[in-house]
Structure 1
Amino acid sequence: MSFYNFAKFVVKSYLKPKYKVQAIGTENIPKKGSVIICSNHISNYDPPIVGITCPRPIHFLAKEELFNNKLFGFILKHVNAIILKRGTSDRNALRQGLEVLKEDNVLGLFPEGTRSKTGDLKKGMPGAGFFALRSKAAIVPCAVVGDYHSKQPLKVVYGQPIDMNSLREQKASAQEVTDVIMDEIRKLKENH
């Protein structure tokens, strides 16, 4: 068993019953080929919650500060996290993210860039659009719906892949593509 699968098993054993996690729409995640999963961001628990509900291993971009703790940094590196220097155009993180997609893996992004303290969707940053336009990956919107402090089940909803053909034909900008992705995440939240 790989470290990733072991960590997923441990985290799932703890988080799934604690938050009564329900995964909806996992069949929308292609079983093969490159995929970008774009989710809203309401809690520090979002990456592991999305990670345990996705049937494929995910490579998340993670802010550099999370790697400062040696133990946590070690774990992050071994569960496919890519170090991201926030506030800059981190070319190394962009290159690594594109490499993940080139190798037909799954890249996990939180387009808002930081957690929403109110739970409302914030404007997405152009990074998600950059990866979508620079790769042939399927773009799967994802919404974490609910409240980590509620007794209600926490839902992780995966939508159908976004059709990128028309956006490419229109020569949409990275920001315009991100706006479309965020709109799909908004619809998932509203419908669940």
Structure 2
Amino acid sequence: MAATTARGLRRSGVVLAALFALTAAAGCGSASDEPAKASPSSPGERPSKADPPKRPEPTPKPSVSAADGRDITACADGNCEIVVSEPVKIPFKGPRGPATLSVTEVGPNAIAYTVKSGNGQSKGSASGPGQGCITVLRSNGSGNSCGGLGAAGRPSPQPDAVVIQAAGGEDGTAVLQLVSDR
């Protein structure tokens, strides 16, 4: 009986070795030289320290170019064309002195802002493809119009006014144009 048990153990060992070889050949290995990426086996398990660190999200690159790029100081005289990708305050010379354009929201096809001059303020916001706002800031007040801009191009200067056109782009940036008669 000892001989029968020894033969059975040898056969079991041969069978286990064969199964192990088949399992390894069937997909536990990798055909490339790249190491296999392990995924956590349970929701609470953390990836190993060997995983590469995550890169920070890049700042959106504008799909359109602007004459003054991202330089908000170019707007100081009330004439500029810039691209923004995050909330920003832009000081400029308005018809009655210092004014501020505060972009409060920028996102894919979305823009929201407030213009302050003296004791007055005007707000504009638009969302959706091809949407934007135009604000005309005058010495005696301001007016807004938001909606489809189509192929509006650069706004025309108006006497004793600063015209602000803001349009959100699909890439999460917005083009701002300030035009004055100065």
Q: Tell me the TM-score range normalised by the shorter chain.
A: under 0.3
Q: Greater helix percent: which structure?
A: 1
TM-score, normalised relative to structure 2: 0.26
TM-score, normalised relative to structure 1: 0.25
Structure index of larger Rg:
2
Q: Greater strand percent: which structure?
A: 2
